[in-house]
Amino acid sequence: MTAPPARQVTVCASPKGGQGCTTIAAALAVLAARSSQPTLLLDTRGDAAAILGVSDPAPASTVADAIANAVEPCDRLRVVSVAGDRIDTEAISAMSELVAAGHRVLVDTGTDHDVLHRFDPLSPQRLLVTRPCYVALRRAIGVPFVPDHVVLISEHQRCLTERDVSLALALPVTSVPYDPAIARAIDAGLLAARLPRCLANAITQLEV
């Protein structure tokens, strides 16, 4: 199988739950779709559709079936949900064909680090999404994969800074402000239609 072009596939993962991984994956997918590129958001955790304000996709046992059952929160963006244990060679081949056809693929694996390795044939960029939390940082140091970049959900009340996280993980860090506008957009089902500027501006700095 020929590896897809660099940066056409991005996998988002977190060291622990509640770090904002699905929100970042969904926001990246919305921005990719807005750039007129057909985009697939593959969700192995089951929350992406809800965050984007649409109904959950119908259950599917294969990626091909999931793509057929995809929901579309906005133009050029399809969201599919497939359990991590269903990501096999056939699934990877299906995604490779999409990328070859010009699609951008975002994947949300959350804390399922075992499934993350199944995407290796796609040569993905790996983003580690975390907060400046001591427990999360300890777990981030021990994740069983090598991230390319850290997305830090920055909170002013925390003692740890972006520099602290970058030094601890020896990785480049992009900070996304913790802003109530993001939670309001999600609660109203408007993340796809009205992506908060604070979130969009922060993640456009990522080279993805």
CA-wise closest residue to 21 among 112, 144, 88: 112
Q: Report the DSSP beta bridge partners of residue 122.
A: none
pTM: 0.93
CA distance 78 to 41: 6
Candidate from 7-11, 37-41, 202-206 with smallest mean pLDDT = 202-206
> What pLDDT, on a 0 to 100 scale, did the predictor assign at position 207?
63
The H or E element containing residue 178 is none
pLDDT in tens, 35-49: 999 999 999 988 999
- Summarize the confidence of residues 77-89 as an average pLDDT: 92
The predicted model gives 115-138 an average pLDDT of 94
Please give the pLDDT value at position 3.
Answer: 44
pLDDT the model gives residue 1? 46
Q: What is the pLDDT of residue 7?
A: 72
What number of helices (H) and strands (E) belong to the chain? Answer: 9, 8
Strand partners, 108: 12, 43
Cross-strand partners of 173: 150
Q: What pLDDT was estimated at residue 5?
A: 43
**What is the model's pLDDT at position 74?**
95
How are beta strands 125-130 and 9-13 bridged, if at all? parallel
Q: Mean pLDDT of all residues in the chain?
A: 91
Domains in the chain, CATH or no CATH each: 9-203 (3.40.50.300)
Residue 100 CA, distance from chain mean position: 20
Reported as a single tens digit per residue, the pLDDT across 146-194 is: 999 999 999 878 889 999 999 999 999 999 999 999 999 999 999 999 9
d(CA 140, CA 111): 11
Q: What's the pLDDT score for residue 208?
A: 63
Share of the chain above pLDDT 70, in %: 96
First to last CA, the chain: 22
